[in-house]
Structure 1
Amino acid sequence: MIFRVVLFLSLLSIINCENHKSELPPAVLGYIALDYLILSDPDRSAVYFSSVRSAGLEIAYEPDAEPFTGNFTIGGSDIWSVVQNNLEDVFADRGYTVSISVPNDLSSMTQIPSQGRSVWSVNQLLDLVPRYRRQASDFQSTSFFIIYLKGQMADAPGVIAVTISGVFGIGPPVVFVFKDMVNQFDSGISPDKVEKAEQMTVTHELGHALGLVNAGIPLHSSHQDKEHGNHCTEESCGMFWALSDTKVETFSPSTNSLILGQECRDDIRNYKP
């Protein structure tokens, strides 16, 4: 975040220098600089749903916080096919093809050193991004960075995952998944429950990264739960603010792996930036 603020101030200085003597008020110059930064940022909804033709995930994890991989016990489908199928649905029916690449085994993901933390602040999370993110987005291809960690959020204990973007929403949205919180869904009785919870969580956070709900992708109908921010009012939708035990238990990836509700899907289908 600090880096982005410095960049904003530096750009403002460049504009003043190139104009030699600006007669525009500082506030106007600030808007010009901000608008320039936004338009040059490939990590935003308007780009995802216009010029992008490929989208993929880069996944990193701490030791003992590995993502689940392999196949579901019930149905036998690949665990990461849930995220794959949901991303394919997000970019479907747009009059062009977007190729989706989702890693599905640990060999295609990156193990990072143990961070030795049980509690995380936002700044500590953001410090990980320049250290471990290797893939960048451009206006034709998008890469979402997901990092699995031990511990939990300092100001929001119990939160399963969080998506954080830069200042003013400029810069890549990064998904942080707290494995200890995911593992709370492991009842030891219901097969695949914790694996399903993890995939539903990742899909939910990618929904935020893409611009749901009303966070870049405009509403097509009134279904934003403003009390809970950028979430859906429909409890059955994957963008609902909470993930319940019942919802996880009844989710059947082998029958229907799509978790976004029709209202959110309509937002996406009708978004043509």
Structure 2
Amino acid sequence: MIRKKLLLLLFVLSLIGCTKDSTPSTKAPNLKTTGASASDLLSDDYYTSLHLEIAYVEGYKPSDQALSILSNFFQKRIYKPDGITMEMHSVASSGKSPFSIEEIADIEKKQRTKYNSGDEIVVWIYFADGKDEKDDNEKRTLGSAFRNTSIVIYEKSIKDFSNQIGAPPKEILEATTLEHEFCHLFGLVDLGAPLLSNHQDPENEHHCATAGCLMNAELEFGSGIADVINDSSVPDLKQACINDLRAAGGK
């Protein structure tokens, strides 16, 4: 399984050709590298609607407020004139925490039921009952975009983090992590969307160096997140990232 920290060449190769597929049973268009479907997700050139299949382990269901914030973010940043829909269903715990990304991909293979069909592009989101295997005392991964239409949210890590003194509310952490990981699917930063200016963080690949931006690495890895979310609201994309997103087909 290939995570988003790949050479740009691989993403360029994945973007070659039309990604639209009219056969519901075809999974290949949803099994590409992160950022490969950036323009498909952002624009209405090929797909005019977006569907989210949200799978969660019992006890780790995302909050309604977080999903509402995410929906508003979509309305602001992507073109899907035929609508954006969501469905949620619970799944049994895999019992494999802490997770490798390969184990998350295996869960997706077993649990995902929806794939691109006709004019609809589908994203699968898994709310996990555990943490990333690479977590340590200084870094805690809250989410990861690990394919072109696949996201894992480490909900247990978010719940644990939100219980700390001075931490943002759980629903804000959820919404921030969701928006951040979707922006990786949208090709930010340098994952398929054009990099129009030099704003990539030299110390954190595929993240933005602009202070306070939604694409700061702190918002994915937890360290320093309270300094970025300082008013109990989801940080905005800063102009450099907005410019890249628009160049890839977004608003």
Scaled by the length of structure 2, what TM-score is found? 0.75
Match of 2:207 among 231, 249, 256: 231
The verdict on how the C-alpha distance between 1:37 and 1:207 changes in structure 2, with shifts beyond 3 A counting, is: closer
- How large is the RMSD of aligned CA atoms in angstroms? 2.8
Q: Does 1:219 align with 2:195?
A: yes
3-state SS of the aligned residue for 1:126? helix
Distance 2:15 2:107 in 1: 23
Match of 1:67 among 45, 62, 78: 62
Q: Does 1:163 align with 2:141?
A: no
Distance 1:271 1:37 in 2: 12
Distance 1:140 1:222 in 2: 35
The verdict on how the C-alpha distance between 1:217 and 1:139 changes in structure 2, with shifts beyond 3 A counting, is: farther
Q: Which residue matches 2:84?
A: 101
3-state SS of the aligned residue for 2:159? helix
What is the letter of the counterpart of residue 84 of structure 1?
A: S
Distance 1:123 1:137 in 2: 22
Contact preservation (8 Å) 2:229, 2:235: no
The verdict on how the C-alpha distance between 1:232 and 1:176 changes in structure 2, with shifts beyond 3 A counting, is: same
Distance 1:115 1:179 in 2: 14
Contact preservation (8 Å) 2:94, 2:107: no
Report 1 or 2 for greater relative contact order, CA contacts < 8 Å, sequence distance ≥ 6: 2
The verdict on how the C-alpha distance between 1:46 and 1:189 changes in structure 2, with shifts beyond 3 A counting, is: closer
- For structure 2, the 5+ residue unaligned runs are 3-11, 21-28, 30-36, 220-224
Q: Which residue matches 1:200?
A: 176
**Per-residue deviation, 1:79:** 3.5
Distance 1:36 1:68 in 2: 34
Of the two, which has the highest radius of gyration? 1
Q: Which residue matches 2:5?
A: none
Distance 1:184 1:126 in 2: 24
When the two structures are aligned, how many residues end up with a matched partner? 216
What is the letter of the counterpart of residue 266 of structure 1?
A: N
What is the letter of the counterpart of residue 163 of structure 1?
A: A
Q: Deviations over 1:17-64 (max 9, x none)?
A: xxxxxxxxxxxxxxxxx9699425445124333322111211000122
**Per-residue deviation, 1:189:** 7.0
